[in-house]
Amino acid sequence: MATQIVIANGESITLDGNYKISWADKGNSIPTLSNTIHYVIWNNLTGQNEVQQKDASTGNMTGNVNLNATSDVVSGSTTVADLLTWGETRKGQIEAAQTSFVNAQNGGTATASETWRDYDSNYS
């Protein structure tokens, strides 16, 4: 399981400080996040771990909810632990699809227009 996650809702996800997933590559099994969430921050950097809230219609910030444990709820019934587990799983899926794509390229079966995303059954 990942130990750190920062989600810029609608933009990107960063795991363990250095593994970045673009929003388009989040896959089809990401736990549900409310459209009132701007950021989810769970890491070991200085500062509060928190959910930054926004007004979905204006994008204006409306406040923060502190996170103190992986069992804390981020959105609906989704906890920090759910997001960490999902993040590690998604990272593995992406890496497996990238490996499959490279293998297909090396084996001569990949087409010029294909990318690793074509080998990812979990791609959104």
Rounded Cα distance between 64 and 101, Å, is 41
- pTM for the whole structure: 0.94
Instruction: Kindly state the tokens that stand for 114.
Output: 């294909």
Rounded Cα distance between 72 and 86, Å, is 15
How many CB atoms are located within 10 Å of the residue 88 CB? 17
Where along the chain do its domains lie? 5-119
Supply the pLDDT for residue 1.
Answer: 85
Residue with tokens 């950097």: 45
pLDDT tens across 47-106, in order? 999 999 999 999 999 999 999 999 999 999 999 999 999 999 999 999 999 999 999 999
**Percent of the chain topping pLDDT 70:** 100
